[in-house]
Amino acid sequence: MSTNYPPRSVSTPSIDQSLNEILTILGTTKPSLWPFWEKTGFLVSGVGLGDVAPAETAGAAEALEDDFAPVQLPGGTYSYHFHPTGDHHLAGIDSAAYTFGNATVDAPFSVGAWIRPNAIASNTIMAKYSATVREWRFWIDANGKLSFELFDESVVPDAYEIATSTAALTLAQMQFVVAAYDGGESAPVVNLYVNGVLANDGTTVETDAYVAMEDTATPLTIACSGVTATPVNEFHGRIALPYICGKELTAAEVLTLYRLTGPMVGVEVS
């Protein structure tokens, strides 16, 4: 009987230096970065906190080399391919490191990634958001626009704040997308960025009376919403270098991240 073990991560000084620079910008409060430096096996290791697992239909484990088609990037890490047909996604856990509300107040946080979407309608990039137990969701909405949702699960029927980009994303092009929330639940400011440029005015649209996010048991997912056994709004395309941090990234920090990570993924930046 053979046993599949996760591969050992192989790093180089140049990769480590770049990741150190990224983590310095993300700060010391709840930073999580997934470099995607594995190309085989059943584990995607996180830097900061939290590994995630490649999963497919009904949450079954799946090796990266089977359907995630890792492509090595100029910086030495990989991008992964996600496709809704096989429910391909990365399954995380429920962790305090991914929660930024306690039902009374919210805390600042930011999420981001490089994406190459093959579809731009109802595609989740990263979330802690199931069908009935919701916290936050970073996604491409039904109109192809970058969107970030904060959900208050304690209000019936639904209370949430949504920020939306002014323009739709571009199909099939590598783009650096970021959402930065100031944690001000009573008058939230959520800045959305595409390729280092502000893509909205920071305002959100409120439905019902939003108070704050709840600390729920929903796991983190990358490339879908929902729990791992029943993924929804699945991403179609490639994702690289996703991250979360417990601070509101400034416009200058987002631009620095864009300029730092662009060459890592093969994008020429100015």
Query: What string of pLDDT tens digits covers the 270 residues of the chain?
Result: 444 444 444 445 578 899 999 999 999 999 999 999 999 999 999 998 889 999 999 999 999 999 999 999 999 999 999 999 999 999 999 999 999 999 999 999 999 999 999 999 999 999 999 988 999 999 999 999 999 999 999 988 889 999 999 999 999 999 999 999 999 999 999 999 999 999 999 999 999 999 999 999 999 999 999 988 889 999 999 999 999 999 999 999 999 999 999 999 999 998
Domains, the chain, with CATH or none: 13-265 (2.60.120.200)
Place of tokens 């594995």: 38
Residues 6 or more apart whose CB falls under 8 angstroms from that of 197 comprise: none
pLDDT computed for residue 167 by the predictor: 98
Helix (H) or strand (E) holding 53: strand 53-55
User: What are φ and ψ of residue 181, in 5° steps?
Assistant: -110, 135
- Report CA 130 to chain centroid distance, whole Å: 15
- In the sheet that holds 123-129, the strands lie side by side as 53-55, 89-91, 221-222, 123-129, 134-140, 145-152, 159-168, 205-207
List % helix, strand, coil for the chain (3-state, nearest 5): 15, 35, 50
The pTM assigned to this predicted structure is: 0.94
**Per-residue model confidence (pLDDT) at position 1:** 40
Look up tokens 């005015």; give the residue. Answer: 201
Strands 145-152, 197-198: pairing kind = unpaired
Q: Can you give the pLDDT at residue 13? A: 54
Query: At 78, which helix (H) or strand (E)?
Result: strand 78-82
Q: What is the pLDDT of residue 12?
A: 53
Say if CB 149 and CB 141 are below 8 A apart.
Answer: no
